Amino acid sequence: MYQDQNLEPGGAYLLTWNPKKYELNLPYYVKHRDELDEWATGNTKYMQSGAPFFFLRQGPDHPGVIGWGQIRSQVRQQKHWDPAKARAKNRSNEVSVSLDFLTMPDDPRAIPRSALRADRKTMDGNWDAEASGTRLTARVAEGVRRMLIERRVKVPELDALPDVTQRSTPYFLEGAAKQVLTTRHERSKNARKACIDYYGCICMACGFDFGLHYGPEADGMIDVHHLNPISQVSESANVDPIKDLVPLCANCHRVTHLNGRAAIPLPMKDLRRMIRKYGARF
């Protein structure tokens, strides 16, 4: 999980909405808030999944906090919510959300922007923010929480929400191009075809049939396993497609090479014995 080092423990994000810029059927979503499950994050590209947010309504008419919830994903790019920008092939940063509370701006439970600016704990928040993604300090977030509780809105302690705890799982970089010198042993397409023509596209170890399991789109999918690995042959050799080759599903093929591609593969009788013993038969 991404750790937002700029978000204090107990802090929160602001997700903003300006009715003049984006039309939202708020009365509908007040009744069906589970259906409001994603929101644009403006220029913010990184948010911490599980962190709390407050939903801030902007504009001249009843601006203020009208909801709260949790971030449920990392930020992703998708088709822009603005039709004109979408036609221009622009992308929008979006995040999945879950709303625990949402109300109309004239509801007494909503917190007016004037009250947020006047309160000692919340006055330092950026209540004029137009774009989503603003981070609130733990002090400001706690002030908003307290004001909601005073308005009879249930809000747990923000640093105790599920999934908010900072995790230590690292990220690993992949995908860099790397040039390597390798030896590739040529395989005969004709030998593969002759093997399948004889045995069919069914795993000879477990009986798995891709076509039966996944439908006609997967019909004919099967690996062909060399009983005597050609990687151990230094030069070309004749291959008997019936005696030297056997169709295997991807799982069984992987198990035959448990000890690595360079090692002698697991004999078919041992593979079948394992399947019979542990009952993993399709």
- For residues 179 and 136, what is the distance between their CA atoms, to the nearest angstrom? 46
Q: Which two tokens stand for residue 36?
A: 């409001």
Percent of the chain whose predicted confidence (pLDDT) is above 90: 36
* pLDDT tens digits along 192-224: 899 988 888 889 888 888 888 888 888 889 999
By DSSP bridging, strand 52-57 and strand 12-17 are parallel
Task: Give 22's pLDDT tier (boundaries 50, 70, 90).
Answer: confident
- In CATH terms, the superfamily for domain 12-160 is ph1033 like domains (3.10.590.10)
Query: Higher confidence at residue 74 or residue 137?
Result: 137
Whole-number average pLDDT of the chain: 84
* pLDDT tens digits along 71-120: 988 888 888 877 888 888 888 888 889 999 999 999 999 999 999 999 99
Nearest Cα residue to 21 out of 76, 78, 75, 80: 80
Q: How many CA atoms lie within 13 A of 128 on its CB side?
A: 3
4 near 47, Cβ under 8 Å? yes
- For residues 107 and 133, what is the distance between their CA atoms, to the nearest angstrom? 25
Q: Which two tokens stand for residue 180?
A: 């390597």
Task: Give 230's pLDDT tier (boundaries 50, 70, 90).
Answer: low
Beta bridge partners of 109: none
Give the type of residue at 20: K
- For residues 7 and 134, what is the distance between their CA atoms, to the nearest angstrom? 10
Give the type of residue at 185: H
Task: For residue 47, give the 3-state DSSP assignment.
Answer: coil
Domain boundaries, the chain: 12-160, 189-278
